[in-house]
Amino acid sequence: MTGISALPIGVFDSGVGGLTVLRALRAALPSEDFLYLGDTARLPYGTKSAATVARYAMQAAEALAARGIKCLVVACNTASSVAIPALAVRLAPIPVIGVIEPGAAAAAQATRSGRIAVIATEGTVRGGAYPRSLAALAPHAVVTQKACPLFVALAEEGWTDGPIVEAVVRRYLEPVFSGDAAPDTLLLGCTHFPALVAPIRRIVGQGVTIVDSAETTAAATAAQLARLGLQRAAGIGAVRMMATDGPERFARVGSVFSGEPIAASEVELVDL
């Protein structure tokens, strides 16, 4: 397994939102190398059909696998909701990890009242992956879903706060979090949404637990690699960034999600 364990971990998303997952992965697995692919030419995935998203996800996964990876992390909720089984079959024996189940597990553990709200893209909400996962983990939970498609556009533009952003957040979330039976847990079901956590927090209030699947996905990845004996034991890992369009914009907006500057010259333009 020595040769395989030296390979990088592949991570893909429809754009830059998955960099929040990459950030958590790097914190949990500092010795690992990563290949990150943002399919910026075809984002957003959330407004497209399940069949189209599954096809895009397969193309992105195969592009990463062709470069040599030991594990694939699907850092996109929409792709995770429709493509994980097919990806697992196509890439076997490479393990494939999505963000749905780790996020659902964290939300099920966090809720006190059993009332959980999930905000996500239209595609993720339509697919119902979060309610299914939550039903298996917490059968008596009451799950409310809300599609927030404009959140993706705001995050991709780097608009993460201010009066316009707050007005959009308020329009989406106030109806969900009003009344005595409001959820006590909010699951951010899209990797773009953590960029908007400040205005989200102001709207939902301090009493609501906000769950981001990035850290739980990173923990699930670390556990999987440990089980398979594929973790790198030492060293400082490196990251290679790839995008299918607009390296300059990817670098500019991606810096917000990654928490550190990204140089456009470091982003490789690839064609799927």
Q: Which of 72, 76, 155, 165 is catalytic?
A: 76
CA angle, 81 as apex, 38 and 135 as ends, to 5°?
145
* Element at 59 (helix H, strand E): helix 50-67
- Say which DSSP state 256 is in: H
Question: How is residue 220 written in tokens?
Answer: 């699930």
SS3 184: coil
190 is catalytic: yes
- 142: amino acid identity, one letter: V
User: What count of residues does the chain have?
Assistant: 272
Which member of 154, 190, 242, 251 is catalytic?
190
Nearest-CA neighbor of 200 among 177, 162, 173, 164? 173
First to last CA, the chain: 30
Known active-site residue 76? yes
Helix axes 163-173, 197-204, angle to 10 degrees: 50
| Of 237, 261, 242, 228, residue with least CA distance to 29 | 237
122 Cβ contact list (under 8 Å, min separation 6) = 46, 47, 147, 149
CA distance 132 to 128: 6
Task: Report which residue type is found at 106.
Answer: A
Cα–Cα distance measured from residue 84 to residue 87, given in angstroms and rounded to the nearest whole number: 5
Tokens of 29: 């697995």
Give me the active site residues, please.
76, 190
